[in-house]
Chains A and B, each alone.
Chain A
């Protein structure tokens, strides 16, 4: 969306830094909820929303990345592919899932499954929940950047409906690599950001402890993203957050998936690609 100078001048000029009071800034409360230890993760949604989920593994090139779960499933009798970022809950699971930080082989597995779905004209549903793509030597050696970049380009031409849902942490390019959907949704207490509040605070305040202030400045809540035209809808969570009632959260998401699958399934392959392109093409904010 382009803005004219007048319009922008009337917008708030400064991000309001969090005053030093007991109540956390609302954006930071969202960050805490998005990372809540009991928050439902991808597999918690998958088991509630899909039937016949069959996980399939591996990128056919290097290995299988457990930070990404992919499989064939049914959503209310409709065959769909599911590709999701998965965090662990206990220490052992966290290590197995690499804290939900995918490596290149994870992104390549994700793409493989999405293209498999496309071949058989099945819709793709992706669930985003990662602190970010893994920053490590091995990931760099195997082309973390290339893997993410390729997913962005290839997702944009999938000839099938793609629905992406940010269920928790939308950690920058690591989340976006599964997020080029015809419809992109966020759970009410999810966050989606170009950089983590901690890293942002380390850069701008030279103090990662000021993450709360950074969270406010980054405009990373579902309402923020919706206001900038970056997402298509917000899925309400039960009172107190999804962790209080995972069943209720999944029920709410089910309604959204049903509605958008119905709408998108009416479009031809060409229209789906065109629709997705037009949506992302509009994203931006500048003076001409």
Chain B
């Protein structure tokens, strides 16, 4: 399996060892489930796509694992892999954005926070985008915006469905208003997809917030979410600070959104492919 759940606080250095071209973290063989608090053998968790075999609680998986789960035979053709941010603002926070990008590119082996591919889903050609939450919080800057816009254009040209799996804290602060405008750019491209009467399914996973929710993640012909995912516009901390009261239990989780009519369905990870397949069969025959 190609992903590893990180359950230690960021900042704590984990031992790494080089195995061929890929870095593998040796974090120990056991992991505590956030859902049931039981100690799970890590291999069992990974074999189950990071869904706890005991309680069904979903922990995050990376963008590549997602594509392997959804694409037939785990096979796909990637597009625009080389698109990278040019740091248009020359932004500096605790470190220069340029350095942060280089470090993140090194640790994730990705140029930015989204992988855009063509593949097959139960034999049907689809375009698919998968977001990587470990890449600066899965945030959306110019590269994510451009890759999605191109994926939409490709889907329209080839007349295929489009699936976008979101996992993002929202627009990327380090690219300022340029990030913000990606929301409009992508939404306008989805208008064209809509006019072309081609299916677009949005899959929301933990977390999907801010400018990503407030643009493409909520614009699917179907908006479906994994169980227990944090989904919202404003972050929970911002809301707490604004209204100065504790938030109710389960607020902004998938089930909360379903109850309030904001999602079409909450679908467990291991049933996602079948759900998508059936939906596409309805839309596209």
B-contacting residues of A (Cβ < 8 Å)?
A: 3, 5, 8, 11-15, 17, 133, 135-137, 139-146, 148-150, 152-154, 156-157, 172-173, 176-177, 179-180, 192-195, 199-200, 203-205, 217-220, 224-225, 228, 230, 276-277, 280-281, 283-288
Contact = CB atoms under 8 A, between A and B. Distances in A.
Contact of B98 (A13, A156, A195, A217): A13
B171 A133 contact: no
B202 to A, nearest CB: 10
A149 B180 contact: no
Contact of A205 (B93, B217, B248): B93
A152 B188 contact: yes
Contact of A281 (B149, B177, B242): B149
Nearest to A173: B214
A136 B242 contact: yes
Given A137-B243, A194-B173, A230-B178, A173 B211 contact: yes
B213 A145 contact: yes
Contacts of A277: 188-189, 191-192
Contacts, number: 212
Interface stretch (B4-12, B31-39, B48-56, B231-239): B231-239
B96 interface: yes
A243 to B, nearest CB: 24
A8 B88 contact: yes
Contact of B218 (A149, A177, A284): A149
Interface residues of B, number: 67
Contact of A219 (B176, B182, B217): B176
Name the residue among A12, A141, A219, A280 with the largest chain B CB count within 10 angstroms.
A280
A283 B179 CA distance: 9
B233 A204 contact: no
A179 B215 CA distance: 13
Given A143-B260, A193-B176, A193-B180, A153 B219 contact: yes
The 3 lowest CB-CB distance pairs between A and B, nearest first, are: A135-B234, A204-B93, A152-B187
27 contacts: A3-B86, A14-B90, A14-B92, A14-B96, A136-B243, A139-B234, A144-B233, A145-B213, A145-B233, A149-B218, A152-B188, A153-B191, A156-B191, A180-B188, A194-B171, A199-B238, A203-B173, A228-B176, A281-B185, A283-B181, A284-B181, A286-B85, A286-B143, A287-B82, A287-B83, A287-B85, A287-B86
A143 B187 CA distance: 17
B271 interface: no
B90 A286 contact: no
Given A137-B247, A143-B260, A284 B142 contact: yes
